[in-house]
Structure 1
């Protein structure tokens, strides 16, 4: 009986094993996860779950019973120590497990603050897994002073929850503006105004010099010399692909585990997908950290394990929920040279990224129509003139017919 082992029980891992069964794979499947919980959704962790609006069981992608019913051997709280690609085995929980095909969906790991600047103090948290959020949840009480380090989407989402719960929130971003790495100044300005309107003390161009405290964090010194008293800290300064297993096994890396268009790594019978994998995209190689990518790429790998020989064609899209704003992003804005704005806050507003006359991406804030039309335009290779997009009289849906 053929045996497929999937290492990583997140969104990609769950999607892969489910797709294998749907596609008719009748061999043995083992899904290995490092956490004690079955595969669960991560986006609600720092929002609905932290707010207390979502119970733990609702996070689960499938009931625990599903895996047994589908003949999927679910190994949880498991430690994978090594991959022996020559003998097609992995070392897990002190034993060896043989595979016919191995899928690495190991995800990513959050960057942490160095211990030298206080990163090892108690009450310094990251937002990644269920244990991280459970550890910080008791600190979310009205009036508590939280310092958030990092003005990307993770930091801003944490700030929005904290502010809604009545905490005293300070957010520092060492770059000149929040979201500088991922968004245009127009999108940054929108979210800057949003957070300030909810009382967040947002400081751009200011970094963290060090945290202070005896055992637990109690203060922070910023790069401009400001000293703050804090009760806890949330660090949102990005993630790195989890590639240690692959690297030790001699699998090629390139901004993650390098795979071809069908999900194969440099080593026969080893595949990868999701946050940990980089793949060909329009003549370049990219890695996407998103739920849609994790699902869709893992499903393509599952199909290819069944012999489909199908290329993964990414259709990048993302989202972020902050306060009463849903931001939906279509496309990738890399290389843009101008941005045009349709609408204005507090109403629906969207920011359209162009390179020359080519539409690259859309950031849509409470503008589902702008997002939907922009996404379909980008995926079909259509680029309406910028002056047409910003004209309030333009029926966006009509652009899809031209």
Structure 2
């Protein structure tokens, strides 16, 4: 009977504790952007008419710094999302096991309690009762070791569930902090990007005509190769006409490529020359990213095209030095202007948004040399 009492107490304690689950924590708040706010405010307050080349360079460096921080936070968010998803799946599976074990233990506990509470008078009143009682007692005695083991397993699983709940709480807090930081950084970035666009638009004559001409070129181009070729051909006479205009400034040289980096932080799903979704060898790479992720310039150069092109969606084409071009497609929003000089890491726009976790958005990146698609590993060593 002492053994029964001990088992009953253990089982009851486990069953009661199994009903207690730790609640998830509420979100917390975020960090400040990597660039001092006073410096940002000072730069954005300057009238575009008074902007100097030094101011533009400072703004570009700020944009790159903030973009780097945003992409790091996006990588952190992606990792946290995956960890949370995995923890939730593990906890759901464990709680299902706990529910099943709890039901089995409750039935056994009830059987034990009934056996202990059976009065002696009941055994006298029913001639066959003593035999059945003895048989039940022997059966329970034989199964007690395995029941103790089950109770111990249930206890261990409850501890695991508590650990999972604590881990989920921690990861959700981290995700909340990171999300707040991203929101603040995107707000700062948007203000700087808008300032950059306004400065460029205010200092470039004939920009609307140039953009309209590019749209016509895109409408008549059958392939990306045609588009790049026609843009190059169109740019040459335009440059000549600018030189012939005495009042116009000499066109700036193409900025240096700088340190090459992939346009977004994400997972490469299709590499160069691997079969694409049509089964043909891919001329570029597909990078899976977060919906609304920041897209940056892979290398420094000049924006030659900014707009929609066939099934590629919104796309940016950047001319680099030495005959290279970058094609970045799959953007939801474009934050660049045709003819604009950019440095490596400057924001181009945002990746289109995902519909679900199982259908994540993809950015397409293609590197061309003298008009022909080449392996991006030629410029990006981490792809080799």
Report 1 or 2 for greater relative contact order, CA contacts < 8 Å, sequence distance ≥ 6. Answer: 2
Whether TM-score is above 0.5 comes out as: no
Which one has the bigger helix percentage? 2
- Relative to the length of structure 1, the TM-score reads 0.21
- Relative to the length of structure 2, the TM-score reads 0.22
